[in-house]
Amino acid sequence: MAAVFFYFDLQRFLTLTSIQANRMPLRTFFFGTMLGIIPGGFVYVNAGASLATMDSLSGIASPRVIGLFALLPVIYNRFKRE
């Protein structure tokens, strides 16, 4: 699909059709999207800032980073149950 359609155009099409198909109010869609995008934005900014301060590639696969990734499913399941 990426070779046929640009990502932005495909995303815009899917957004407009999901709003029309589900009869979702634009206000609800807007605030729901913002609520979903903001945490990911913070993660990307933090990751970029951390990578900018690293001197070698060994910092990417440090035990701390691997441990945090290993805990993600546990944290997800805990919040999913509630």
To the nearest 10 degrees (0 to 180), the angle between helices 7-22 and 26-53 is 150
Report CA 12 to chain centroid distance, whole Å.
17
- Please give the residue range of the domain that contains residue 50: 7-81
Residue 73 lies in a domain: yes
Residue 27 lies in a domain: yes
Residue 2 lies in a domain: no
Q: Which of 53, 46, 52, 49 is nearest to 68 (CA)?
A: 46
* pLDDT tens per residue, range 35-78: 888 887 887 887 778 777 777 777 677 777 778 778 888 888 88
Residue 18 lies in a domain: yes
CA dihedral 75, 76, 78, 82 (to 10 degrees): 140
* pLDDT, mean of residues 4-10: 68
Residue 52 lies in a domain: yes
Q: How many domains does the chain have?
A: 1
Residue 40 lies in a domain: yes
